[in-house]
Amino acid sequence: MHPTLVRVFDQPVPAYFTMLMVGFGLATWLAARLAGRMGLDRDTIIDLGLFSVLFGVAGGRLMHVFADGYFWDYVHLCTDPSLVGWHISAAQCGAIGGRWDAAATVCRPIARDCFAWAKFWNGGLTYYGGLLAAGAFGLWFLRRERFPVLKGVDLVGMGIALGLAFGRMGCFLAGCCFGSVSHGPLSFVFPPWSPASEEQFRAGLLHDPGLASLPVYPTQLAESVGCAIIAAFLYLWLHPRKRFDGEVMLAFLGLYAALRFVLEFFRADARGTIEGLSTSQFFGVVIVGFVVVAWPWLRRRAKRLAAAAAARHARDGLPEPPPAPAQ
């Protein structure tokens, strides 16, 4: 666990955001490279990648605030900090300038902070919130730029998978998104005062968050490897063989939703719930439902467009167009 990757001019460079930016930088480069091969405007994809990071962070932060169970903490930090209780030790409470509540054995913040909800660099992003915000912006942006929308989202689908593979490595370095207790051969122990130790202290599994955590499932690394496999499958196999525009993005959405749904059972970090499922599992079910409906519809649409193009050529006395090359 290395939350701070390096220090530049005595300023910490967070490992999580460094890995996230590296991942999405590579994703944007890959998508732009493929766009150039397809005869499409590379600059549009580069602009889309840069703006999508901004919208993704904003959307991910907002969903964290509203759906991960911390909403009232952020409200009380602004209105009445005495209603907020952090489950840390008295020593750590003093180190951060808090007020120790011996009766409740929690640390109370002293100063109000009405902008804590916006400080994403302190941690707290939700993937599906980022996907929804960046996706909505991306659709609008591609239409505004008169870029073929479905071809564009296929390029983005491969890029997101690659970006997530790096982002989850950043989660591992930061210690967030950790798994539940495991004594298997692939389990990991996080250091004292890590998010895993603090959560296990709150759950009564550790008597002091200043101890190393119990061994946990490496859910961050499992998701990183899974996303890398998805990215390789989309780039090397599906994209050259796709039968209709939009197929690559739908495949990414379905595969990632399934991967995330399973991994959520092995995670132990604090998250919100909807109808007995974690927030991510609930949105994953919705997304799989969307994929099931959209896949046959887009395939039928592609066939109708191909038939209409062939009919126009026949009517105009032109030879039938050759099949479109794999892209």
* CA–CA separation, 240 and 195 (whole Å): 42
CB 264 within 8 Å of CB 127: no
| Bridge partner residues of 267 (DSSP) | 179
Predicted confidence at residue 75, as pLDDT, reads 92
183 versus 3: the higher-pLDDT residue is 183
Pair of tokens at residue 123:
């941690």
Is the pLDDT confidence value at 204 over 60? yes
Pair of tokens at residue 48:
């889309």
* 323 — pLDDT class (breaks 50, 70, 90): low
Q: Which of 81-95, 110-124, 194-208, 226-240 has the highest mean pLDDT?
A: 226-240
Average pLDDT, the chain: 87
273 versus 319: the higher-pLDDT residue is 273
123 versus 284: the higher-pLDDT residue is 284
Q: What is the pLDDT of residues 151-176, one digit of tens each?
A: 999 999 988 999 899 989 988 998 88
* CA–CA separation, 305 and 300 (whole Å): 9
Secondary structure (3-state) at 128? helix
Predicted confidence at residue 322, as pLDDT, reads 56
Is the pLDDT confidence value at 224 over 70? yes
* CA–CA separation, 93 and 122 (whole Å): 17
Among the residue ranges 18-32, 39-53, 82-96, 198-212, the one predicted with the least confidence is: 82-96
Is the pLDDT confidence value at 10 over 70? yes
| Mean pLDDT, rounded, for 191-197 | 88
How many C-beta neighbours within 10 Å does residue 248 have? Answer: 25
| Mean pLDDT, rounded, for 96-105 | 85
List the chain domain ranges: 4-68+124-180+217-294, 69-120
Exposed e or buried b per residue across 282-320, where buried means at least 16 C-beta atoms within 10 angstroms of its C-beta: bbbeebeeebeebbeebeeebeeeeeeeeeeeeeeeeee
* CA–CA separation, 141 and 48 (whole Å): 7
Pair of tokens at residue 144:
């505004």
Is the pLDDT confidence value at 37 over 50? yes
> Between the CA of residue 265 and those of 66, 220, 280, 297, what are the distances in Å?
21, 13, 11, 32
Secondary structure (3-state) at 262? helix
Nearest to 253 by CA among 273, 274, 230, 237: 230
Is the pLDDT confidence value at 205 over 60? yes
Predicted confidence at residue 292, as pLDDT, reads 97
* 127 — pLDDT class (breaks 50, 70, 90): confident
Q: What share of the chain is helix, strand, coil (3-state, %, to 5)?
A: 60, 10, 30
* 255 — pLDDT class (breaks 50, 70, 90): very high
Q: 114-121 — which CB contacts under 8 Å span 24+ positions?
A: 114/77, 114/78, 116/74, 116/77, 116/78, 117/61, 117/65, 117/74, 118/61, 120/57, 120/60, 120/61, 121/14, 121/17
Predicted confidence at residue 317, as pLDDT, reads 63
* CA–CA separation, 209 and 191 (whole Å): 10
9 versus 263: the higher-pLDDT residue is 263
How many C-beta neighbours within 10 Å does residue 99 have? Answer: 13
Is the pLDDT confidence value at 9 over 80? no
Is the pLDDT confidence value at 326 over 50? no
